A and B are shown apart, each in its own frame.
Chain A
Amino acid sequence: MSALPETLPASTPAARPLLLGGVGPLVILLVGLAVSPVLLSAYATVTLMPVIAYGIAVLGMNILFGYTGMLSFGHAMFLAIGAYCAAVATQHGILSFEWILLVASGVGASIALIVGALCVRFTHIFFGVLTLAIGMLLHSFLFKFYDLTGGDQGMRVLRPTLLGQTWDMSATQFLSGPFYYYCLVVYVVFVLVTYRMIKSPVGLHLQAIRDNENKARYLGVHVYRLRLGAFVLSGMLGSIGGAMLGVSTGLADPELAYWTQSGNLIFMLVLGGAGTFSGPGVGALIFVLLQDIAASETQYWRFLLGATLTVLVLALPDGLLGTLSKYRGPGKNPGAQP
């Protein structure tokens, strides 16, 4: 640590949050998602499905990176764990989506506990490299063990039942109707839970660890335990998002675990604003739209995404929401930067 130059914290919490203490943009997003099946075509609604799934996963990443300061470059492994849990469960006759979510979050949390116990001893770059390595371990397992996981073909995810009901309709109708609202409700629940958590003493401890690990430790914060907790929670949320993704695409494939997918998750987080509460949702929405639009216009959409990321990091490191709230001037805190 000593050789490293002093680094700025990931974001300056002194800036005044946007709208309703920073929750406003997310509320608008959720309301927008809720009414979009009514306003948009079924097809357009299905393209919004990943926003919810990624939204939940990035919600977890935000706790880990935005609030605790740990950048995981292997988080896509949890997406894959969730999707493969859904695949295995539905193929073995467990069709209830409630059970699938429970199994996915249980498996995701257990794996996160093991991986986290190994990794959270490290911070910053070492943590990023290690999580990348372990994520790729899972990827190569999924990719190479053909008999168990279907290799590069992946595994099919069958249509689950929701609340004990089977839905006899076309895939588009199912995904844009009952499944969409089901996932949206789950999303809202997790938004509320994480909001409570971030405002609670635990959340403040996490932020203290992010801003100054040593000081937090002197003040009696259980750094290791809380970091591990944040990692497990974010792993669990990632698995839940992954299970939703698996059902919506009908496929669990190893590419979900590839490290560039983790990069995309981080991209969404930084796009919206790491450490702002609404950032993850807004980032997921803009990323999905950007990718859809760019990919339909040009085959060189990755370049566009990369350039956007570069500009973001260089010019707007606090993301869209973080930057907006900064420009609204300093908050009540007199020591805040303008």
Chain B
Amino acid sequence: MQYLNLILAGLFQAAVLFLVACGLQLIFGVQKIVNLACGSFYALGAFFAITVVSIVQQWQLPALLLIPVLVLAGLAIGLVGAPLELMLRPVYRRDPSYQLLLTFGLVLMFQDVFRFFWGAAPRSMDTALYGAYGTLEAQAVSIPIYNLLVILASIAIALILGLTLKRSRVGRIVRATAENRDMTEALGVNASRVFTLVFTVGCILGTVGGALIVPTSAASLTMAAELVVDAFAVVVIGGLGSMAGAVAGAVIVGLMRTVAVTFASEVEILSIYLVVVAVLLFRPKGLFGKEAV
């Protein structure tokens, strides 16, 4: 069952990719801003998680607490989204091109922030921690339990987010603001606060994604720009602004990537973009998109 292993590895990639893409979709859906800095938040989460874990390790906590610590680290550093959102406020009603540019400015600045605090060399975490979770072996299937837990955590986050948006009062307000900001403001909603909330949650999704990936792969300065490419592939395949699209896109890209890496590593990213181009040709609005803007 070599294929099952492959699928599970792909789903792990998809789980992390989903978190970042989901943040991108959320911010686009409500604020109509395509956040090029989503990759930077992902990298920020990764770097910060390494620092937090190296501090926490000194307290001799059980290794199984790794995932909670990572998620908390991601949550904490994701709060930088709130002050950053203030910076975006002047451009909400301007041409979308300028919003893209502003987030590109953030990408440039973040890259040097990483270089300043964490240096230019790639940083990785003690692999013993990752190993502490062990591996699940059943017949020919062997999957690191850490990966399995991350997939489950990602599904849980997707469900919580989906239910919050669909069923709760806050979710209804967020969806109403996405639909028509002026009208919700007229009805007494503080739309600025909703925007801050949404942007912060979008950031947190990115930083948690970054924090969860870091036990399995090193954090480097190039990871931010690289992830943007994957995340954009996800949203184009799934449809810009759609949560279901983020799930479908992430699974497609995650699986394609692992399959391609295993069988033909030259075409790794190429294969993903061929899917993107095919989606564009036959279904320009994406699999779950409502309308191409």
Instruction: Show the binding face of A for B, using Cβ within 8 Å.
Output: 1, 3-10, 65, 69, 71, 73, 118, 121-126, 128-130, 132-134, 136-137, 140-141, 144-146, 258-260, 263, 266-267, 270, 299-303, 305-310, 313-314, 317
B123 contacts A by Cβ under 8 Å = no
Complexed CA–CA distance, A4 and B92 (Å): 10
Shortest distance in angstroms between A313's beta carbon and chain B's nearest beta carbon? 5
Question: Is A134 a contact of B240 with CB atoms below 8 Å?
Answer: no
Q: A118-B280, A123-B293, A129-B236 are in contact. Are A266 and B101 (CB under 8 A)?
A: yes
B235 contacts A by Cβ under 8 Å = yes
Instruction: Show the binding face of B for A, using Cβ within 8 Å.
Output: 28, 32, 34, 36, 87, 90-98, 100-102, 104-113, 115-116, 179-181, 225, 228-229, 232-233, 235-236, 240, 265-270, 273-274, 276-277, 280-281, 284, 291-293
Q: A1-B293, A307-B109 are in contact. Are A9 and B229 (CB under 8 A)?
A: no
The residue of chain A having its C-beta at the shortest distance from the C-beta of B225 within the complex is A260
Complexed CA–CA distance, A130 and B268 (Å): 19
Question: Is B292 a contact of A126 with CB atoms below 8 Å?
Answer: yes
Main DSSP-derived SS at the A contact region: helix
Question: Is B235 a contact of A129 with CB atoms below 8 Å?
Answer: yes
Complexed CA–CA distance, A140 and B110 (Å): 24
Question: Is B98 a contact of A317 with CB atoms below 8 Å?
Answer: yes
Question: Is B270 a contact of A133 with CB atoms below 8 Å?
Answer: no
Complexed CA–CA distance, A122 and B34 (Å): 15
Complexed CA–CA distance, A317 and B96 (Å): 12
Q: A129-B235, A266-B104 are in contact. Are A313 and B109 (CB under 8 A)?
A: no
Question: Is B97 a contact of A302 with CB atoms below 8 Å?
Answer: no
Question: Is A71 a contact of B97 with CB atoms below 8 Å?
Answer: yes
Question: Is A125 a contact of B116 with CB atoms below 8 Å?
Answer: no
The residue of chain B having its C-beta at the shortest distance from the C-beta of A136 within the complex is B229
Write out the residue numbers on chain B whose beta carbons fall within 8 Å of the beta carbon of A129: 34, 232, 235-236, 240
Q: A7-B93, A137-B277 are in contact. Are A306 and B229 (CB under 8 A)?
A: no
Q: A136-B269, A306-B109 are in contact. Are A314 and B34 (CB under 8 A)?
A: no
Q: A123-B293, A144-B267 are in contact. Are A306 and B95 (CB under 8 A)?
A: no
Question: Is B236 a contact of A130 with CB atoms below 8 Å?
Answer: yes
Complexed CA–CA distance, A1 and B276 (Å): 22
Contact of B95 among A8, A132, A267 (CB under 8 A): A8
**Apart from A129-B34, A130-B280, A132-B232: 20 A-B pairs, beta carbons within 8 A:** A4-B32, A8-B95, A9-B95, A73-B100, A121-B292, A125-B28, A125-B240, A126-B293, A133-B273, A136-B273, A137-B276, A144-B266, A260-B107, A263-B104, A266-B104, A300-B112, A302-B109, A303-B108, A306-B106, A310-B102
Shortest distance in angstroms between A126's beta carbon and chain B's nearest beta carbon? 5
15 A-B contacts, Cβ less than 8 Å apart? A9-B95, A65-B97, A122-B284, A125-B28, A125-B96, A125-B293, A128-B97, A130-B236, A136-B269, A137-B277, A146-B266, A259-B225, A266-B101, A300-B115, A313-B102
Complexed CA–CA distance, A146 and B266 (Å): 9
Contact of A299 among B100, B102, B115, B277 (CB under 8 A): B115
Question: Is A124 a contact of B115 with CB atoms below 8 Å?
Answer: no
Write out the residue numbers on chain B whose beta carbons fall within 8 Å of the beta carbon of A266: 101, 104
Shortest distance in angstroms between A150's beta carbon and chain B's nearest beta carbon? 14
Complexed CA–CA distance, A128 and B232 (Å): 11
